Structure 1
Amino acid sequence: MSITLDRKVFQSSELSRQPLPVFAAATDAPVEITRRDDTPLVLMSLRENDARDSLLELAAQIIAITVDEDPRPLGERFADVFNWMWALDAVDREQCAVDLIRSSRASFATKKAYLAMAELASWQATAAATADGLTNAEVEWMKKPVSVKRPE
């Protein structure tokens, strides 16, 4: 086994003779399986593959939004694709759009899909909370404690 920048590399003979270490490595990150007379293969978990698919889908949506010549603000164009963003106010829609673009760039640069997907999930939760009426209103605390009887 050798290690490249992003993934461990195993020979196909290692996979056939001692598969457990190869499978264990593939559980953590994609591994490259080299073959004597053919192109290498990549072995990864379904979770990793699904995360990459989700990131690519998000990237395709972001690219489509950003190259569109629609003159409206970026947040509105994003909300047309990500309808849950309409629950956010205009300022938050703009911030959400910028955050999604930046986190996607970070995901591509680091090959860590979870960065963009976590940002997306966080903004979706914020939109849901906003739609439920939760706000950042300041909490008014009681100035004096109130004594209550002990329950019987």
Structure 2
Amino acid sequence: MGVMTVTASLPSWTRRSSDLSKHSAEVFAEAEDHPVTVTRRDGEALVLMSQREADGRARLLDFAAQLITVTLDDRGSLAERMSKAFPWMLALSPADRESCAQDLVDAARASFSTDQPHLAIAELTSWKETAAAVAAGLGSADVEWLDDDAAETVERP
């Protein structure tokens, strides 16, 4: 069983390098769930993590760089500045751009403070897909609601 240490108030799992040879399947299974620090007597500690985790961290850093660029610009509202960094936001209505900008900043702050890249990446992906759907005309169709009294019951397949 790995030793859990606390660094910057976030959990970290540590294994000895000998565990890789003696219990490799167990260590690899742990690394699929969360990064594992592998300590070595003869060198610097290494971190073993899934490709998904590494990609999420890289995407979060890229997103952070874009947000920093947005914050350095002092011209226009947050939504206007964000639309420069993320041109797909221009497909959204002005009100949705405002919501999107604030949601992205809030999700980024949550990701940074909890070391959970998926929070910001999921929010970014969701808004980007919404913008793509709006651009494709999927958000402009009139919805026809059925009255409960007039609705026909459909049998289950």
Greater Rg, structure 1 or structure 2? 1
Give the match for residue 28 of structure 1.
33
User: Are 2:88 and 1:84 equivalent residues in the alignment?
Assistant: yes
Match 1:49 to one of 47, 50, 54? 54
Q: How does 1:98-109 map to 2 (within 5 A)?
A: 98-109=102-113
Q: Which runs of 5+ in 1 are unaligned?
A: 148-152
One-letter amino acid of the structure 2 residue matched with residue 7 of structure 1: S
Q: Tell whether 2:74 aligns with 1:73.
A: no
Q: Counterpart of 1:53 in structure 2: which amino acid?
A: A
Bigger shift: 50-59 or 118-127?
118-127
- Runs of 4+ in structure 1 off by over 3 angstroms are 134-147
Shift of the 142–107 alpha-carbon distance from structure 1 to 2, 3 Å rule, reads: closer
Structure 2, unmatched stretches of 5+, are: 153-157
Which residue in 2 is equivalent to 1:2? 3
Question: Is it true that 1:141 corresponds to 2:142 in the alignment?
Answer: no
- Please give the secondary structure, in 1, of the residue aligned with 2:116: coil
Structure 1's 79 and 146: CA in aligned 2 closer, same or farther, altered over 3 A? closer
Give the TM-score of the pair, scaled to structure 2: 0.83
State the distance in 2 between where 1:119 and 1:135 align. Answer: 19
Give the CA deviation at 1:130.
1.5
Q: Which amino acid aligns with 2:131?
A: A
- Give the equivalent residue in structure 1 for 2:99: 95
Q: How far apart in 2 are the matches of 1:34 and 1:118?
A: 32
CA distance in 2, matches of 1:122, 1:35: 41
Match in the other structure for 2:155: none
1:115 paired residue among 106, 119, 122: 119
Root-mean-square deviation (CA, aligned residues, Å) is 2.1
TM-score w.r.t. length of structure 1? 0.86
Give the direction of change, closer, same or farther, for the CA distance of 1:34–1:87 in structure 2 (3 Å limit). Answer: same
CA distance in structure 2 between the aligned counterparts of 1:73 and 1:8, rounded to whole angstroms? 42
- Where 2:76 maps in the other structure, the secondary structure is coil
